Amino acid sequence: MIKSHVELRDAIDRAVAKTKITDVHTHLYNPKFGDMLLWGVDELVTYHYLIAEVFRHVDISYDDFWAMDKEGQSDLIWQKLFIENSPYSESCRGVLTVLNKLGLDVKKDGLREYREYFKSKTVEEYVDLVFEMSGVKDVIMTNDPFDEEERAVWLGGYERDDRFKAALRIDPLLNGGEEILKQLQGWGYDVIDQLDKKMYSEIRRFLTEWVERMDALYMAVSLPPTFEFPEDSMRARLIENCVLPVCRELNIPFAMMIGVKKLINPDLQLAGDSVGKSSIDTVEYLCANYPKNKFMVTMLVRENQHELSVAARKFRNLLVFGCWWFLNNPSLVEEMTRMRFELLGTSVVPQHSDARVLDQLIYKWEHSKRIIADVLYDKYKDILDTGWDLTQEDIQRDVDKLFGKSFWEFLDRDFK
Ligand code: HDL
Ligand code: ZN
């Protein structure tokens, strides 16, 4: 039995430190995908978050920047964001956390030295090291069958690694308009000039085949703030007639990542997206009208967070996950985690890393685990002070759920 606040803090820190994590949304790849898996200091420093930040300090043209090689971009970013300014933004701080955790001497003129360190590592060794160091047990990739490079790996006898699970990402299908039908037709799905019924059944066949080929744990899409359902649009018709029926039949969640305003500054390329407030009514409508479907939802704007947590209180088929992208900053992670624990207890996935560079697992989880432990301490202290009995096993059980078990249990649920 935990008897004091000191014992409580120690019990939480032990559970958070040792519990292995399922990272439910990343852009990482099993090394079998070759160069699609990004790792090492220059990938860390040229992560698109830092590219957005460096342009606030340089007058060079976007084209001149994009014409630089990776090391050239990295040198410029290092000089501007780490030497000429203190690197306390979350993206810069993350780079320092990784270097420090790797045992490297974090210093202003360290870039060349760090490059040597990474040259001494094979990708397989480094994958093992990063998973061990970050406490991540497995990551869920973002797998896009419309990406030619990725498609070739899946169709070329892909060799699985259980630490890299799959999610079927269908943005091109749902956000690509009629164009995408030509691509499906070319792959042997008879979708062009067909009666709707035939077209939908062929698209369901496409989705089913790829979920099964990938052993995808869920189907995912990122959606604009204007996303509405129901709606007289191809996207809504495909969700209604293809996505939801296949997800229901295979009993996998449909993960909606809502609130992305794509390329408001196209010159920034991957760094050019922004955010917009979305309609919680759409999430509520889908959860209410498709009670046998499971929905994972993360929303990109701070203003949607409270209503999303309340919606999850209303619908057991809704699982809220992560502090996504522009929300993955300590101040907002803390605010969201406190609110979610107060409204949802353990039935939430408080964080995902969204890592694009393997090394980021180290910092994204180090930073988030510290906040989650701090919030848990306050929440457990509140109930301990009422006289509630609390044991280390209770805390371990709850942390297991928050770090993956709630997600895995949600995958197993089958609403009749
Ligand atoms: O759509 C998504 O999955 C987003 O996470 C984008 O990939 C975004 O560019 C990103 O990396 N955010 O962290
Ligand atoms: Zn992402």
The pLDDT tens digits for 203-243 are 999 999 999 999 999 999 999 999 999 999 999 999 999 99
The pLDDT tens digits for 252-265 are 999 999 999 999 99
Which of 356, 360, 361 for a ligand 1 pocket mutation test, highest count of atoms within 8 Å of Cβ?
356
> What is the C-alpha to C-alpha distance for residues 147 and 132, in angstroms, rounded to an integer?
30
Is the pLDDT reported for residue 331 higher than 90?
yes
Q: Whose CA is nearest to atom 9 of ligand 1?
A: 270
Q: Global pTM?
A: 0.98
Whose atoms come closest to the Cα of 259: which ligand?
1
- Cβ atoms of 259 and 301 within 8 Å: the answer is yes
Instruction: Please return the burial class of 108, using the count of CB atoms within 10 Å of its CB with bins 0-12, 13-18 and 19+.
Output: exposed
**Cα dist. 413→288, 323, 406 in Å?**
17, 24, 10
The CATH fold of domain 5-410: TIM Barrel (3.20.20)
> What is the C-alpha to C-alpha distance for residues 378 and 9, in angstroms, rounded to an integer?
9
Ligand 1 near 354 CB (within 6 A): yes
Which of 38, 222, 262 for a ligand 1 pocket mutation test, highest count of atoms within 8 Å of Cβ?
222
Beta strand residue intervals within 259-416, DSSP E: 260-261, 274-275, 295-299, 318-320
pLDDT, mean over the chain: 98
> What is the C-alpha to C-alpha distance for residues 348 and 343, in angstroms, rounded to an integer?
10
Q: Whose CA is nearest to atom 1 of ligand 1?
A: 222
> What is the C-alpha to C-alpha distance for residues 296 and 252, in angstroms, rounded to an integer?
10
Token pair 């590219």: residue: 51
Is the pLDDT reported for residue 177 higher than 90?
no
Beta bridge partners of 300: none
**Across the beta sheet with 254-258, what order do the strands follow?**
168-169, 219-223, 254-258, 295-299, 318-320
Q: 195 pLDDT band (50/70/90 cuts)?
A: confident
What is the average pLDDT across 170-191? 95
> What is the C-alpha to C-alpha distance for residues 156 and 141, in angstroms, rounded to an integer?
18
The pLDDT tens digits for 56-109 are 999 999 999 999 999 999 999 999 999 999 999 999 999 999 999 999 999 999
Which of 23, 26, 27, 170 for a ligand 1 pocket mutation test, highest count of atoms within 8 Å of Cβ?
27
> What is the C-alpha to C-alpha distance for residues 358 and 190, in angstroms, rounded to an integer?
39
- End-to-end, the C-alpha distance of the chain in Å comes to 40
Ligand 1 near 356 CB (within 6 A): yes
> What is the C-alpha to C-alpha distance for residues 179 and 191, in angstroms, rounded to an integer?
11
